[in-house]
Amino acid sequence: MPLFKIHKQKVTKVTVRVVDREKHLQELFEKNLNEILNISFLAHEYSTSFGGRIDTLGIDRAGSPCIIEFKKKQNESVINQGLSYLRWLLDHKADFEVLCRDKKVDVDIQWDSPRVICIAESYNKFDIDTADILPINVELLKYRLYENDVLYLDTETYQKVRIQTSKITKRFIHDKEKSETLQKNYTIEYHLQKASNEVRRLFHVLREKVVALDDNIKEEPQTPQIFRSP
């Protein structure tokens, strides 16, 4: 998306900056991870037992483990990398829990809602189709760096597709059910089902007033919090 600067009724297009090294972008995000993504930074280039390195490892405010991968090359399969690291992480929960303790993270880890976040300048059709069809949510974020040190970040949008399921085998169904245990996607309806009639009524009243404040306001259902008594 092009950006424009307005000065005394004159509009000038802001020039896109070329990132000299992808590592610089990764370091920029890591130093400001909480400000940019509301995620607490845990580790840089975190080593896994199979030889790979997770670009950035973090945890969000709801306690969801966050794997963040930066796409460094046009043909790099960043989504597959992120999913591979997610599988490894779910098999090594103790390592992540030790890391959180070392970093003094005071939040309950939500293993039912891990996040895989990909960050790149652009995505091709194969990336978008892959993210769309996966049974778990993979977040595709696009960035642009502009002159005067302006960072623009947006979510890659795509249209959901319907898939013919009449010929799906029992094995596929079994694999899908198994994969769904890796990540739960909580919705507004999920939370409202657990609320009383009065809470639901107040929610709808408040929602209408909040959404009316600005067209850019978006609803983001969060993982249920587990509160511990002091």
Provide the pLDDT for residue 161: 45
Q: Give the pLDDT of residue 43.
A: 95
Contact criterion met (CB below 8 Å) for 114 and 183: yes
Domain assignments of the chain as residue spans, ordered by start = 4-185, 187-230
Among 26-40, 67-81, 147-161, which is the least confidently predicted range?
147-161
**Are the CB atoms for 48 and 85 separated by under 8 Å?**
yes
DSSP 122-138: ---HHHHHHHHHSSS-E
54 near 34, Cβ under 8 Å?
A: no
**Predicted model pTM:** 0.67
Q: In CATH, what class is 4-185?
A: alpha beta
What residue has token string 């103790």?
A: 94
Q: What is the pLDDT of residue 227?
A: 47
